[in-house]
Amino acid sequence: MAASNNSTDGPVLAVPSGLADVGIPTGVQIVGPPSTTTLSSVSAIAVEQLKPWAHLVPSL
């Protein structure tokens, strides 16, 4: 998704979102229209603040 969006100058951010039931890391991708870097960044910060997962360790 990031490569196709780069040609339109829209911001793309990948944000961790926790762990799946099977223990693997999950994430969300936030894609914004051109010239919305600030809005996309604020959205990414909001997602990260919803649930702290820094203490979680994926199973290997």
- Judge contact between 57 and 50, C-beta under 8 A: no
Distance of CA 51 to the CA centre of its chain: 13
Q: State residue 3's pLDDT score.
A: 59
Residue 5: is its pLDDT beyond 70?
Answer: no
Q: State residue 59's pLDDT score.
A: 67
Greater model confidence, 3 or 26: 26
- Judge contact between 1 and 29, C-beta under 8 A: yes
pLDDT in tens, 8-41: 688 899 988 888 888 888 888 999 888 888 988 9
Q: State residue 23's pLDDT score.
A: 82
- The domain locations on the chain are 2-50
